[in-house]
Structure 1
Amino acid sequence: MKNYRSYKRVDPVYFSGEIFFPVGLLFVAALISYFLLYFLGLGFAVFFNAAIAWCGYFYFYYYGRSSASISLEFVFGVIMITALLLFVDYGVYALVTYQKTGTFNGLYFSIWLAVLLGTPLVYYTHYFGSNHYAQVNLASTYFKATFSVFHDRELLMHIDSIAFVNSSKHVISDIKLENNICFYSEEELSEMETQSKYYHLNQSAFSGLIHIPFDADRFQMSWFSIIEDRYYKIDVPFPMEKLELEEEKYPLDEPKNIRGKKSKRIYLHIYQKGGFKLYNDDMVLLDFEANNETEITEEQKQEKIISNRRCHRFYDNEERFSQLIKRIKNSNDIQERFELKDKLVVWNLEFEGLDKRNYLEINDNYFKYYKIEKEAIAEAALRHLPRKIIFVHRGSYLRTWMRVHIDVQKLNQKIEEVLAAGSQNQVLFSLDFKDAAVKDLIFTVIGNDKKIVFTGWEIEIDEYRKKEIDDEHLEQKEDETKRALLKEGWDFVFAKNYEKAQKTCNAILLIDPQYASAYFLETRILWYTKGFEASFKKRKYYFTKTQHEPPVNALIYNNYGCILDRELRYEESLPYFEKAIEINPKEPIFVCNLGEMYYKLKQPEKALKEARKAKMMGYQSAMLTEIITNKGKIDSDKSVIN
């Protein structure tokens, strides 16, 4: 594969402001040269440029070096820098010559200016152009795919290479394998937190974004299975035509021809006897139950065994590693897990004791991942066995907060027990969460009228997110209580039972002293029980208490405007209605009330203006109709009923 080329990332380039540093230095040198040419002559200017070229390059060339002997390379560098400075100074020289003699050579100056400005322009055009071309070339040569490689952790594999190859164009994918998966002992796993434990137990051999050549026609892979003591090397046709590619949509700020195309996630499972399966969510691409082993030397085998052993902590010991291999070979766990990988069972799941707003995400034994609602998972269907059940809560945000990790082998044993008890080939997984901490779970496998408690599971809870959910539930429950009490308080007001209304209002404020709607209720109770003066004196108190909630604050201002209206103090009510509109300009009743005050104050133009504005906002009332009908002019002989 030495003659094959793989994807080489091309980073986007940006115009850097760093260029202004050398440009600035050249400008300062040219400015000094101008004064030297004008006052001292050409010789001093040339000497100055040669001197600063020598000093500046000496500093940069010998910075950090132990020796400062003058080399031919250094002298050549000084000459080149001096030449650059003198070339830049030609414009200064032309200016000084023109000032002293009145002579100006336009042709030479034009050539100088074109070179001075054209060189960086050509450079950056080439720089950006070549980068863009390289990115377009990559996007037209490779497509993107998220690629995951799995194998049974007990196979202790050393994977040498995996590649998707376009043999005609000699291009290859960019899969870089680390072979650094640690095999933890039971003692080490027991000391880990649940999240870390299952991360290591389910860790993939490789997972990441790769770039596959378009029209790839070969799939190649080589690996050593330590448990089997066999080396496999395969090179098989790759069915590129099965893959469905789609346009990459992101990043949005890049053109389509650079974003390129992508395929769905591709999975590779490596099994015993050289078997493997390559597939995506839609179809199986390659499926081999077995492959012939390839002979390698004993020395090569030992190198791979040592490399694998050194990835472990507890088993980085030849004796312990040998015992591990012996134990694995004597068990039948690998074969049992292999047989379960494709097993399909008709099952459904129900859970109790949790908020109904949870939906599930399932990771099954086929390494498929899917989201499903509680109602949908309660319906029996032919499915792979679940490896992990993830609970996601719908609230103000979607929160993934709990995972139930399942030992599939043990679950299969329970399933076989209940299915053996009758003729029905269907099981129900019942999850009953018994306590507030949700860790007290009763997991029951039910089938053929038989119930078996299953204990081969472990719960992982994100405590931070669970606290967020609990706090949100508490806040919602508190809000529901406050709303119910508020409704009850208004019912007492309408029934003129003001004593009970006040007690209800006090109960709300005891729960939440910041609940603005309770203060609005209290203003009405105070008005109805103690009259205008008592209520009006406390207006500033209620304004302050409700200013954090503008809609209610606006209602309070409107309320006092209405109280003043009842007292026939129309002029005084105006600022209260105006303030209500300022706080909540989308409430038409405030606008209508302001128009009514102008109507009563016999200011027809203002009254009609506000009335029409309220009508355009969708408001309707008898007073609004009267103002518009009378064109804002109130009949002086007609009394207005409040």
Structure 2
Amino acid sequence: MKTYRSYKKVDPVYFSGEIFFPVGLLCAATLISYVLLYFIGLGFAVFFNAALAWCGYFYFYYYGRSRAGITLEFLTGVFLLTAFLLFADYGVYALVQYQKTALFNGLYFSIWLTILLGTPIVYYTYYFGSHYYAKVRLANTYLKASFSVYHDREHLMYIDSIAFINSGKHLISDIEVENNIPFYSDQELAEMEISSKYYHLQQSAFSGLIHIPFDTDRFEISWYSIIEDQYYKINIPFPFNKLKLEEEKYPLNESKNIRGQKIKRTYLHIYLNGGFKLYNDDKVLLDFSTNKPTEISEEEKNEKIITHQLSHKYYNNKEHFSQLIESIRKSNNIQERFELKDKSVIWNLEFSGLDENHYLEITDINFRNYKIEKAAAEISPRYLPKKITFVYRGSYLFPWLKLHINTQKLNQFIEQVLPDDFENRVLFSLDFKDSNPKDLVFTISSNAKKVLFKDWEIEIDEYRKKEMDEELLEKRMDNTKRTLLKEGWDFVFAKNYKAAQKNCEALQVIDPQYASAYFLEARILWYTKGFETCYSKRDYFIAKTEHEPPVNALIYNNYGCILDRELRYEESLPYFEKAIEINPKEPIFVCNLGEMYYKLKDPAKALKEARKAKMMGYESDMLSEILMNKGIIDLINH
């Protein structure tokens, strides 16, 4: 495949500010040349530029070198740099000539200016244009795919190559398998944290973004199966027409021509006997249960075995590695797990003991992912789960708990309750006792049979759990506060002010910053102690609620209403105006202000505020009266 071309990333192009440093030096040199030309003469200016070129290029050319002999290459560089400096100085030379002789050659100056300014413009236009064309060419040549390669953990192998090939155009995908995934012993796994343990147990042989040539017509894969002591090399036709292409939407700051196209995440599973399966969420692309092995030399085999062995810690020991291979060969675990890959069961799942805002993300034995709500719907046969992630819907999604399941054991337990009849359904019940995630009871039931299942492990993301617990606590506190506040107002309306005050005090104990409790307290004080007492504490209640503007606006409106009851209309105006300033979207404040102007016999302002409240959707008897009377109060009826 050496003659085949793979995807080569085009590095982004940036307009670097570093260019201004040499430009600045050139401008400084030109300015000095102008002074020399004007006051001394052309010859001294030429000498200055030659000397500057010599010194500057000497530093650049000999920097970091142990010897500084004058070479032809150095002299050539000095000559070219001098010529460039003199060319750049032509503009100031023309300016000096014009100042001294009043003669100006516009044609030469235009040519000079065009070359001086046009050269960098042409260069950067070509530079950026070439970069854009290269990215467009790549987008039209290769499509993107998230690609993962898996094999059974015990199926020890060395993967030589995996490639998607366009044989006509000699193009190939950019998959580089490193074969550096260690196989940990049971003792090593037992000493790990659960998250690390399952990271290694479920680690893929390869996972990443690859680029597949358009119109790929061949798929090639080669690997050495250490357990089988067989080498497989398969090159087969690839059904490119089965791929469902999608427009790449990201990154948003790039044009559609550069983003190109992609396919859904694609998986490759490698099995015993040279079998493999290539598929994505849409369909199976290639599926072979067996393939014929290929002969390779013992030297090549040993080289691959040693490379694989060196990736381990415990099994780096040759004796340990041989014992591992022998024990795997004697067991039937790989075959048993292989047979599970195509086994589907009509199963459902229920869970209890957690907040109702949870849902589950299921990862099955074929690495498919889907979501299950608490109220499970009717389902069709599906593959067995190997990982269940509990996600809490809060201010954002909290995937905080993972349940890792031994699917092999799960299948054995299912067969206890469901021996042969797969038309019946299996129910997995997850019960978290006392809401404790570590006190999980996992049962499997069907046909009135129920068994307890214990071959699972829980992994908890403590950081996310803490965030979730804090949000749940805040939610429960908020519900408690809302309940106490509602009861408090119900007591007020029932004129049971003593009970209302107890609720108010309970709210302030739970949350001293709960502004609505102080609004309730202000009303209770007004109803029980009267105007003077409540009015004397206005600064206290305003200060206690100013951190919550909507409640603070209610406090100002409250004192406006108190003054209205005392017939102190003029004094109430600033309170209603302040309430509107704090919360201009509340129409009742606007109507109350209009009512004060109405009672103060200011029909123009009363009508203005009333119409404003009406436009905001507010309705009341007073509002209707103001509008009907056009802001003029009927003193006889008041």
Equivalence for 2:137: 137
Structure-2 separation of matches of 1:349 and 1:131: 53
Does the CA contact (< 8 Å) of 2:57 and 2:77 recur in 1? yes
Counterpart Cα distance in 1 of 2:447 and 2:490: 55
In the TM superposition, residue 359 of structure 1 has moved relative to its aligned partner by 0.9
Q: Aligned pair in 2 of structure 1 residues 265, 583: CA closer, same or farther (>3 Å)?
A: same
Secondary structure of 1:254's counterpart equals coil
Equivalent pair of 2:560/2:573 in contact (CA under 8 Å): yes
CA distance, structure 1, for counterparts of residue 27 and residue 83 of structure 2: 15
Matches of 2:219 and 2:130 in 1, distance apart? 32
**Residue 578 in 1 paired to residue 600 in 2?**
no
Contact 1:424 1:448 in 2 (8 A): no
Q: Name whichever of 614-623 and 67-76 sits farther off.
A: 67-76
Which secondary structure state, in structure 2, belongs to the residue aligned with residue 634 of structure 1?
coil
1:623 paired residue number: 622
Percent identity of equivalent pairs: 73
Q: Distance in 1 between matches of 2:434 and 2:564?
A: 58
Q: Which residue of 2 aligns with 1:569?
A: 568
Deviation, 1:83, is 1.2
SS of corresponding position for 1:155: coil
1:500 corresponds in structure 2 to 499
The offset of 1:368, in angstroms, is 1.1
The residue aligned with 1:600 is 599
Match of residue 37 from structure 2 = 37
CA RMSD, Structure 1 to Structure 2 (Å): 1.4
Q: Runs of 5+ in structure 2 lacking a partner? A: none
1:444 counterpart SS class: strand
Distance 1:79 1:373 in 2: 78
Counterparts of residues 225-304 of structure 1 (less than 5 Å): 225-304=225-304
Stretch deviating more after TM superposition (17-26 or 91-100): 17-26
Instruction: Specify the alignment match of 2:213 in structure 1.
Output: 213
In the alignment, what sits opposite 1:390? 389
Q: In 2, are the aligned partners of 1:486 and 1:505 still within 8 Å (CA)? A: yes
CA distance in 2, matches of 1:638, 1:84: 100
User: Following TM superposition, by how much is the alpha carbon of 1:12 offset from its aligned partner in structure 2, in angstroms?
Assistant: 2.9
Q: Distance in 2 between matches of 1:549 and 1:364?
A: 48
Normalised to the residue count of structure 2, the TM-score between the two structures is 0.98
User: 1:64-143 to 2 correspondence within 5 Å?
Assistant: 64-143=64-143
* Cα offsets for 1:142-183 (capped at 9, x unmatched): 111111100112121111110000111111111111111010
Hey, what does 2:354 align to over in structure 1?
354
Residues 343-364 of structure 1 deviation map (CA, whole Å, 9 limit, x = unaligned) = 1112111111111211111111
Q: Which residue of 2 aligns with 1:638?
A: 636
Q: Deviations over 1:276-307 (max 9, x none)?
A: 00111121111111111111111111111111
How far apart are the structure 2 equivalents of 1:159 and 1:237? 20
- Tell me the alpha carbon deviations over residues 80-103 of structure 1, each in whole angstroms, 9 at most, x when there is no partner: 211111110000101001111111
Please give the alpha-carbon distance, in whole angstroms, between the structure 1 residues aligned to 2:445 and 2:432: 17
> Separation in 2 of the partners of 1:262 and 1:492?
64
1:169-199: CA deviation from partner (whole Å, max 9, x where unpaired): 1111111111110101111111111111011
Q: Secondary structure at the match of 2:100?
A: helix
Inter-partner Cα distance in structure 2 for 1:219 and 1:76: 54
- Maintained 8 Å contact 1:592/1:611: yes
Distance in 2 (CA, whole Å) between partners of 1:320 and 1:58 is 63
Cα distance between partner residues in 2 of 1:300 and 1:144: 34
In the TM superposition, what are the counterparts of 1:276-425 in structure 2 within 5 Å? 276-376=276-376, 379=378, 381-420=380-419, 425=424
In the aligned structure 1, how far is the partner of 2:596 from the partner of 2:119?
76
Question: What SS does the corresponding residue of 2:375 show, helix, strand or coil?
Answer: helix
Residue-by-residue CA offset, 1:438-463 (whole Å, 9 max, x unaligned): 11111112123222111110001111
Matches of 1:422 and 1:269, distance apart in 2 = 29
> What code does the residue aligned with 1:593 have?
N
Amino acid at match of 2:114: A
Map of 2:489 onto structure 1: 490
Q: For residues 478 and 252 of structure 2, what CA distance do their matches in structure 1 show?
A: 41
Amino acid across the alignment from 2:636: K
Distance of aligned partners of 1:423 and 1:33 in 2 relative to their CA distance in 1, 3 Å threshold? closer
Name the amino acid aligned to 2:597: Y
- Whether contact under 8 Å (2:164, 2:172) holds in the other structure is yes
Name the CA distance, whole Å, in 2 between partners of 1:417 and 1:639. 87
Structure 1 letter corresponding to 2:228: E
Between the aligned partners of 1:188 and 1:575, the Cα distance in structure 2 is 75
Q: Does 1:555 align with 2:562?
A: no
Question: 1:624, 1:23 → 2: CA distance?
Answer: 73
Measure how far apart 1:422 and its partner are.
7.3
Alignment of 1:422-441 (within 5 A): 425-441=424-440
Deviation of 1:639 (Å): 5.4
8 Å contact kept, 1:362–1:371: yes
1:474 corresponds to which residue?
473
Structure 1: 5+ residue stretches without partners = none
Asked if 2 retains the 8 angstrom alpha-carbon contact of 1:183 and 1:312, the reply is yes
Which amino acid in 2 is paired with 1:147?
A: F
CA 1:579/1:108 → structure 2, altered by over 3 Å: closer, same or farther?
same
- 1:110-166 CA distances to partner (integer Å, 9 max, x unpaired)? 111110011011101111111111111111111111111001121211111100001
Superposed displacement of residue 63, structure 1? 2.3
Give the C-alpha shift of residue 602 in structure 1.
1.8
Deviation at 1:59, TM superposition (A): 2.0
- The answer for the alignment partner of 1:187 in structure 2 is 187
Question: 1:64, CA displacement in angstroms?
Answer: 2.4
Give the partner amino acid of 2:216. Answer: A
For residues 604 and 15 of structure 1, the distance between their equivalents in structure 2, rounded to whole angstroms, comes to 67
Paired residues, what number? 638
Distance 1:605 1:68 in 2: 95
Q: 1:586 is matched by which residue type in structure 2?
A: K
Name which of structure 1's ranges 436-445 and 412-421 shifts more when overlaid on structure 2.
Answer: 412-421
Does structure 1 conserve the Cα–Cα contact (< 8 Å) formed by 2:345 and 2:422? no
**Structure 1 position 507, deviation (Å):** 1.1
Name the CA shift for 1:625/1:254 in 2 (closer, same or farther; >3 Å).
Answer: same
Q: TM-score, normalised by structure 1?
A: 0.97
Alpha-carbon distance in 2 for matches of 1:182, 1:486: 60
> Cα gap change, 1:242/1:144 in structure 2, threshold over 3 Å: closer, same or farther?
same
524-533 vs 68-77, which deviates more?
A: 68-77
Amino acid at match of 2:57: Y
Equivalence for 2:157: 157
Q: Secondary structure at the match of 1:452?
A: strand
